[in-house]
Structure 1
Amino acid sequence: MSLARTLLTRGNGLLAALACLAALVLAAPAQAATPRDQLVIGMNMNNLLSLDPAGATGNDVLGVVANLYDYLVELDPHDLARVRPALAGHWVFADDRRSLTLTLREGVRFQSGRLLTADDAAWSLQRVLKLNLAMASPWKSYGFSAANAPRLIRALDARTLRIDFPEPTDPKMVLYTLATSVSAAILDRQAVLAHERNGDLGAAWLLTHAAGSGPFALTEWRAKDAMLMDRFNGYWRGPAKLRRVVMRHIPESLSLRFMITRGDVDLAAGMAGPDIEALKHDASVVVQPVLRGTSYYVALSMKNPRFADRRVRLALRSLIDYDGINKAIMPNYGVAHQRPVMIGLAAALPDPGYRLDVPRARKLLAEAGYPQGFRTTIRVLSDPPLINIATSLQATLALAGIDAEILSGTGNQVYGAMRDRKFDIVVGRGGGGVEPHPHANLRALVYNPDNSDAARLTNFQGWRTGFHSPAINRLIEEAVREPDEARQNAMYREVQRLYDSEVGAIQPIAQMQETVVLSRRVHGYVGHPSATTHLRDVHKD
C-alpha cells in the first residue's frame, strides 16, 4: 500500500486526510486509486458559504445537509411525486386540509447520542422562522411567522409533531418542502443551544458545524479547501457503506477531468461542457445527467426606469439568441425551456417559441424612446455556462444599439446586488423547483406580494427584480388553495399566460441539468433532482 493511501486509510484527523489528498495530486502513478472505503468528490466550493439549515442557500449545501441531517420525509429520486418515510414513519392530513400530523420513529439518536424527539423537530422548524434568514421564505409564503410558529408547529408528545397551517394552502406543497428544503433538517436542540451566543440560537456556530442525526458526521470543514464527513455508526438506518466522504475544492474543470481519469477523485461535479463531452468516450467513467427544476435566466431590474417600460422588456426578450445559446452553450448544463414552471409537471405549458428578432427589438426600442439604444450592465458569475450566456447576450444586445458592460464577480457580488435591488441585468440561475410543484417555481420567480423596499423579500426573485402584478399574485394565491387538481393546474397555466403577456422581468432560457462524472468503481450513486442526493448507500469496488 502506498504511503498516501496508508495515511488516508488510517488517519482519523483532518491533517492526515489532507496530507493524503496532496500526495494523490503530486504522485507520479497514472492510476492513483482512492481508498475503497472513502468517496472523494471534486467540486467548486465557492458557493458553499454556510451549513446552518436556517440560512444556507444553493444546491451545493443541499447535498451536504442531506447527509449530515435527517428530514422528516424524503422524495423518491425516480418519482418526485412519491413521498417516502424518513424520520416520520407515518403522516396524515386533516380532512379540512388545514393541518399535518407526523408520527416519528422510535429510537432515533442524534450523533451526540441523544434521542431525537418531536420537540427537536418542532424547535428546528420554529428556529428557522425566529432567525428569519434566507430559508424562512418558503415558510413565510405559507403564512408562518416567528410570532405564530410556537403555536402552529408543536410537539403533541415525544413522537407526534403537528403543523397547523396559518392560511389555506395545498398540503402537498408543505410536505414537499419538508422533504426538500434545507430549512427542514432536524437539529439536535441541546447541542445547538450549548453553543448559543447572545441569543443567536447557535447561528454563528452552525455556520461551520453540524448537529444532526444523519449517516455522516462533520469532521472538519475548511472553506474553499476541503470538507470531511465520517460515518456515524449509530445511524438509525444502519451504518453507511462508506467510512468517509471527502469533498475537495477543485474549481478548474480541466484539473477535475485529469483527476477523475487518473483516479484521484471518485466523483467530479461542476465540470465544463467540453470536458464532460470528452469524458463520455472514457471507459473508466460514467457520465450521469440529472434534470433539476431551476432555470438559467436573464433578469431585468424594474427599479431601472428603462426596464420598467414593457416595450423595453419586450425588446430585450427579442434580443436573446435562445437557439444559439441552447445549441452551442447549454449541452450538459441545461435543456431549452422558456417557461417559469419546470418541465414534466401537468401544469407546464409548451414553450412560447421566443426567438432572436433584432428588427422587432429595434422597433420596440424606438417606440420607447431609445432609437439609438442605451448603456447598461450585465452582472454574472465568471463560471460557465453563465459567463458564456452573458457574452452571447452582450453581442445580441449590441445589434440593437445596447452597449452592455459585463461585470463578473462572486455570488455575493452578483446575487448580493440582486438582493439589494441594485442591478440592471443579471444572467443567473435559480427559480425554486426543489419541490415538484408549480407553486415552487412561481413563488421563486414570479410571486411578489409586497414590492416595497422595506419588505426585503430577498428569496423571492420577483421582489428582487421589482416585478409586481396584483393579478398574478392573486391567481397564485388562489391556485395553491384550490383542492381540485385539474382546476388548480388550469390556474397555474393561466399564471404563465399572464406572465407572458405582462412580460415578466425574468426570462428563462433553459432548465438546469447537472452532470456529474463518476468513476466506474462507484456504485449506488443516484443524483437527486431536488439536489438532496443521499450517499448512505454508495459503495465502491
Structure 2
Amino acid sequence: MFLASQRPLRRRPLLALPALLAAGWGTAHAGSPDDQLLIGMSMNNLLSLDPAAATGLDAATVACNLYDSLLEVEAADATRLRPSLAQSWSVGEGGRRITLNLRADVRFASGRPLTAAHAAWSLHRVLKLNLALASVWKSYGFTAANAATHIRAEDAQKMVLDLPQPTDPTLVLMTLATSMSGYVIDREAVLAHEQRGDLGNAWLTTHAAGSGAFELEEWRPKELLTMRRAAHHWQPAAKLRRVVFRHMTESQTLRLMLMRGDLDVAGGMSAPDVRALAKRPDLVVEEVRRATMYYVAVNARHPRYADERVRRAVLRHLIDFQGVASGVLPFYGELQMRPVPPGLPASLPQPDYRFDPAAARKLLAEAGLPEGFDTTIRVVAEAPFTGIATSLQATLAQGGIRASILPGTGNQVYGSMRERSFEIVVGRGGGGAEAHPHSSLRALVYNPDNRDSARLSNFQGWRTGYADAALNGLIERALLTPDAAAQADLYRQAQQRFDAQVGAIQPIAQMLDTQVLRRAVRGYHGHPSGATRLREVDKEGR
C-alpha cells in the first residue's frame, strides 16, 4: 500500500576505532543492554521537541514516543486510521463536523488527567504560535482567531472540530493522525514555563509534556537523547526500560557499531555499507516509503523555462530516470515519475519518459535555441542529491545545455526556490504523511496565486512559478467531491493535465528510509510518517 513498504535490504562507509573511543565508547565489546534500545542516527535536524514547531523525520521519531496523538495510521497501511487517544470518531453536518470521543483513563507524565480541553488547546496553540506546523491547519481554514469556536471541548471526553470551509474530512483526520501538530500537550505544565507570551515554546524546545509511552530523560543536542519507560501509560507499559539515541553521522561508524553489537538500529547509512551489512545473518535491513519525492524543478518565471518546449526537453528527455534510479538512488528512493505516489485509487501507471537527446535538441531548436544554452543547477551538498545533479549535468550536456552545479545548504537551495531566483533545482519535497492524493498535489503542483506578492512559499508549485487555472480547478473540485470514485477520477485528470502541460517540477523517485536492525530486535516497524513508536519493541531472549 501507499508509503509503507518494509522488506529486507541494505545502506553508508568506515571510521577508525579511535574516533569511537573519542566519542566515549569503550574498547571492550559489550553489546547493548537487554532492556535498552540503542539507536544511531544523525540528529543534525533535531532542533526542537515542541510539537507546534518541530519538523522533519528526526523530530517525528522522537516526539511520537513522548506524546500521544488522537488517531494513528497503520505502519503497514498508511490509508487505515486506528484509535489512539480518541477511541471513536464520526463525521457529520455534511462533512463539516468531526467529533472525537477521548479515552477517560489517560494521564500525562505529570500525573494530570488528559482531557478533551487539553486536546483542543493543543491545536489552538499550534495556530496561535503560527510556526511551521500551522500551515496545514490554515489550509483547512482554521486561524488563531477562529480556533476557539471551531475547535472545542464539549465535555471532558468529547472534542469537536467544525471545519471553517469545505474540505475532505478524511484528509483532516489523517492530519490529526500523522502530523506532530496533532499531539496532545499538558497545558498546565507548559504554561507554568511560559516566557513573554510564547505559550511555553522555549521550554518545550528541550523538554516534553506528553502522555506517551516514554518520558524524556536527557537531551544533549547533537550528542545524545534518552527516554525512559513512562511510569503510567494507558496502553500496556513499554517493553524496554530505556531508549537511547546517539548522534552519529558517519556511515562507517554506524556500520562498525552494528557489527560490534553496540547499536541495535541505525539509519542514514550509505548504500555500500548497507549492502555489506545485509550479508550478515545477525542483521536485517528494512525500507519504508516516505511521502516525499526526489525531483528536478525548473523556474517557469525564467523566460527560458517559461517555454513549454524547453521544459519538455529538460524534464522529459534530458533526465536519465532509469539510470538515476538504478545507479544513484538504491536505498534512497524508488523510481516514481508522477506527483501522486503509487497505491492510491487515484494513482496512475508510470509514464514512459525516456532519455532522448535527439528529441530534446529538436525541441530546443524549435524554441530558437539550436546551440543550447548555459544554466545552473542548485543542489543540497549531500547524497543522493549531488549524485542526481551530477547525472543531470552530464545528460543535459548531451542535449547541448551547459549546466554548472551550485552546491549549498538546504537553506540556500530551498531559499532560492522560495525567492524564485533559481534556474534548476535538484531537491526533495512533497506532501505530508497523509495517504491522500491531495496531500501530494497540494504540495507539488497546486498554485492558486502565481503573483510574487502572494508569497505562497509552502506550495512548491508557487516556488517554480508554474500555474494552470484548469489544473487548480481539478484539484479543488476533487477535494470537495464526496463520491470516492468521482474524486479519484478528478485527481487522475489533474495528473494527466499536469503531464500534458509539462509542469515545472518533475518527480524522479519516491523517498525510501532505510534502517539496519539487529535481528534480535523484535516489534520494530518503521512508520511512513516517521512516527516509529517503540512501545512494542523488545529483544529476543529477554
Q: TM-score, normalised by structure 1?
A: 0.92
Q: Deviations over 1:415-459 (max 9, x none)?
A: 233333333222122211511111111111111222333433332
Q: Deviations over 1:42-90 (max 9, x none)?
A: 1122222222222322222222221111100001112222211101011
**Separation of aligned partners in 2, 1:26 and 1:132:** 42
Q: 1:193 to 1:26 in 2, by over 3 A?
A: closer
Matches within 5 A, 1:263-278: 263-278=261-276
Which residue of the other structure, out of 201, 204, 225, is the alignment partner of 1:203?
A: 201
TM-superposed deviation, 1:344: 0.7
CA contact (8 A) 2:333 2:511 kept: yes
Q: 1:128 to 1:421 in 2, by over 3 A?
A: farther
TM-superposed deviation, 1:413: 2.5
CA contact (8 A) 1:25 1:264 kept: no
Equivalent position amino acid for 1:392 in 2 = S
Aligned to 2:160: 162
Aligned to 1:78: 76
Q: Which moved more, 1:279-288 or 1:122-131?
A: 122-131
Matches within 5 A, 1:272-351: 272-317=270-315, 318-351=317-350
CA contact (8 A) 1:451 1:466 kept: yes
Equivalent position amino acid for 1:277 in 2 = R
CA contact (8 A) 2:393 2:404 kept: yes
Equivalent position amino acid for 1:407 in 2 = L
Q: 1:22 to 1:89 in 2, by over 3 A?
A: farther
TM-superposed deviation, 1:402: 2.5
TM-superposed deviation, 1:95: 4.9
Q: Which moved more, 1:377-386 or 1:467-476?
A: 377-386
Aligned to 2:386: 387
TM-superposed deviation, 1:224: 2.3
Q: Deviations over 1:266-323 (max 9, x none)?
A: 1011111121111111111111111222211112223333222222211211211101
Q: 1:99 to 1:213 in 2, by over 3 A?
A: same
Equivalent position amino acid for 1:80 in 2 = A
RMSD, aligned CA: 1.8
Matches within 5 A, 1:402-417: 402-417=401-416
Q: 1:311 to 1:51 in 2, by over 3 A?
A: farther
Q: 1:133 to 1:367 in 2, by over 3 A?
A: farther
Which residue of the other structure, out of 116, 119, 126, is the alignment partner of 2:117?
A: 119
Aligned to 1:430: 429
Q: 1:106 to 1:194 in 2, by over 3 A?
A: same
Matches within 5 A, 1:485-496: 485-496=484-495
Aligned to 1:418: 417
CA contact (8 A) 1:342 1:433 kept: no
Aligned to 2:86: 88
Equivalent position amino acid for 2:529 in 1 = S
Aligned to 1:185: 183
Q: Deviations over 1:467-513 (max 9, x none)?
A: 22221112111101111111000000000001111211211111112
Equivalent position amino acid for 2:26 in 1 = A
Q: Deviations over 1:327-352 (max 9, x none)?
A: 11222222111000011111000111
Equivalent position amino acid for 1:479 in 2 = A
**Separation of aligned partners in 1, 2:48 and 2:455:** 21
Equivalent position amino acid for 2:49 in 1 = L
TM-superposed deviation, 1:22: 5.6
**Separation of aligned partners in 1, 2:206 and 2:538:** 27
Q: 1:312 to 1:198 in 2, by over 3 A?
A: farther
CA contact (8 A) 1:24 1:264 kept: no
**Separation of aligned partners in 1, 2:526 and 2:149:** 37
Q: 1:369 to 1:204 in 2, by over 3 A?
A: farther
Aligned to 1:62: 60
**Separation of aligned partners in 1, 2:201 and 2:398:** 49
Which residue of the other structure, out of 21, 30, 33, is the alignment partner of 1:32?
A: 30
**Separation of aligned partners in 2, 1:229 and 1:530:** 20
**Separation of aligned partners in 2, 1:322 and 1:433:** 24
TM-superposed deviation, 1:139: 1.4
Q: 1:367 to 1:223 in 2, by over 3 A?
A: farther
Q: Deviations over 1:113-165 (max 9, x none)?
A: 22111111111112222222221222122222222222111111111100011
Q: 1:25 to 1:324 in 2, by over 3 A?
A: farther
Equivalent position amino acid for 2:94 in 1 = D
Equivalent position amino acid for 1:101 in 2 = T
**SS of the residue aligned with 1:79?**
coil
**SS of the residue aligned with 1:305?**
coil
Q: 1:228 to 1:457 in 2, by over 3 A?
A: farther
CA contact (8 A) 2:21 2:27 kept: no
Q: TM-score, normalised by structure 2?
A: 0.92
CA contact (8 A) 1:380 1:407 kept: yes
Aligned to 1:108: 106
Q: 1:207 to 1:408 in 2, by over 3 A?
A: farther
**Separation of aligned partners in 1, 2:340 and 2:390:** 26
**Separation of aligned partners in 2, 1:306 and 1:294:** 28
**SS of the residue aligned with 2:378?**
strand
**Separation of aligned partners in 2, 1:23 and 1:489:** 55
Matches within 5 A, 1:341-490: 341-490=340-489
Aligned to 1:524: 523
Q: Which moved more, 1:159-168 or 1:373-382?
A: 373-382
**Separation of aligned partners in 2, 1:252 and 1:386:** 17
Q: Which moved more, 1:303-312 or 1:268-277?
A: 303-312
Which residue of the other structure, out of 165, 168, 172, is the alignment partner of 2:170?
A: 172
**Separation of aligned partners in 1, 2:449 and 2:184:** 31
Q: Which moved more, 1:240-249 or 1:84-93?
A: 240-249
Aligned to 2:8: none
Specify every segment of 5 or more residues in structure 2 that has no aligned partner in the other structure, as ranges: 1-19
**SS of the residue aligned with 2:239?**
coil
Equivalent position amino acid for 1:63 in 2 = T
